[in-house]
Amino acid sequence: MNSKIVRSFMVMAIAMPIVAVAQGGTTNTASAATPPAGTAPAPTATGPTRIGVISIQDAILATNEGQKEFETLGKKFEPKRNEIKSMTDEIDGLKKQLDASKAPNDENRAGLVRQIEAKQKSLTRSQEDAQNDFVGQQNEIAQKILQKMGPVIDKYAKDNGLGLIIDISKPWPDGPVLWAGQSVDITKTVVDIYNQQSGVPSAPSASRPGAGGTRPGGVGATRPATTPTTKPQGTTPPKQ
């Protein structure tokens, strides 16, 4: 998500498939439960609502499909990362020349200042363009997986009698859940079901990022505007 890259779209996106299903189910239930005119409604049994929690963000990143897609995306942007690194190294070299210049009014010094300013602006534009493109393609991958994960979550909830599922991608106090036990966390179960249905094999253990705590990062030789805390190996550009 500091996880602005994935977190912002995640909350909005999950609302579409699950809320749509919930609304459809509510409408049908209400229609079927409406008694004929002049008859008293039958009493309904009440009981505790079973609740589950899931980290949608971690679930998407932990799927075999997600890991494969994000790793491919990281390799795709490798040339851009190298380009940005070269631009950064060039600017650093010019700054060293500037620091070595002792004469404050030296024409060469003034020329170096202009070069640094121009190249710094070019670097900033390249970083921003690459970052926006990278984040946009990250979100496209996550949205694609999420659309297929929605029905998996819906079926699991119905099969196991869950009346409510809460997304815990954002930890408290940013998220709604202060604490939840492992017994109600369905993240791994949903990922296992998704992997089985997708047919995408798992990545080799040597290159497989840890599930449930990794975040894809951004592109740039300096810190991007949105920098997640941890990143999966092979999808995150190096920082300089």
Summarize pLDDT for 70-92 with one digit per residue, the tens.
999 999 999 999 999 999 999 99
Which of the residues in the chain have pLDDT under 50? 1-33, 35, 43, 206-215, 220-240
Instruction: Please give the pLDDT value at position 49.
Output: 85
Q: Is 209 exposed, middle or buried (0-12, 13-18, 19+ CB in 10 A)?
A: buried
Q: How far is residue 194's CA from residue 91's CA, in Å, rounded to a whole number?
A: 47
Give the C-alpha separation, 113 to 49, whole Å.
67
Amino acid 217: pLDDT: 53
What pLDDT digit, counting tens, does each position of 136-150 carry?
999 999 999 999 999
Helix/strand/coil (H/E/C) assignment for every residue in the chain:
CCCHHHHHHHHHHHHHHHHHHHHHHHHHHHHHHCCCCCCCCCCCCCCCCEEEEECHHHHHHHCHHHHHHHHHHHHHCHHHHHHHHHHHHHHHHHHHHHHHCCCCCCHHHHHHHHHHHHHHHHHHHHHHHHHHHHHHHHHHHHHHHHHHHHHHHHHHHHHCCEEEEEECCCCCCCCCCCCCCHHHECHHHHHHHHHHHHCCCCCCCCCCCCCCCCCCCCCCCCCCCCCCCCCCCCCCCCCC
Query: Are the C-beta atoms of 50 and 162 separated by less than 8 Å?
Result: yes
Q: What is the pLDDT of residue 120?
A: 96
Domain boundaries, the chain: 1-14+50-75+133-233
* pLDDT confidence of residue 112: 87
CA distance linking residue 54 with residue 168, whole number of Å? 6
From CA 197, how far away is CA 26, in angstroms rounded? 27
Distance CA(65)–CA(141), nearest Å, equals 9
pLDDT at 20: 38
Amino acid at position 202, single letter: S
Interaxial angle between packed helices 64-76 and 187-198, expressed in degrees from 0 to 180 and rounded to the nearest 10: 80
Q: What is d(CA 237, CA 137) in angstroms, rounded to the nearest whole number?
A: 15
**Residue 97, pLDDT score:** 86
For position 55, what pLDDT does the model report?
A: 96
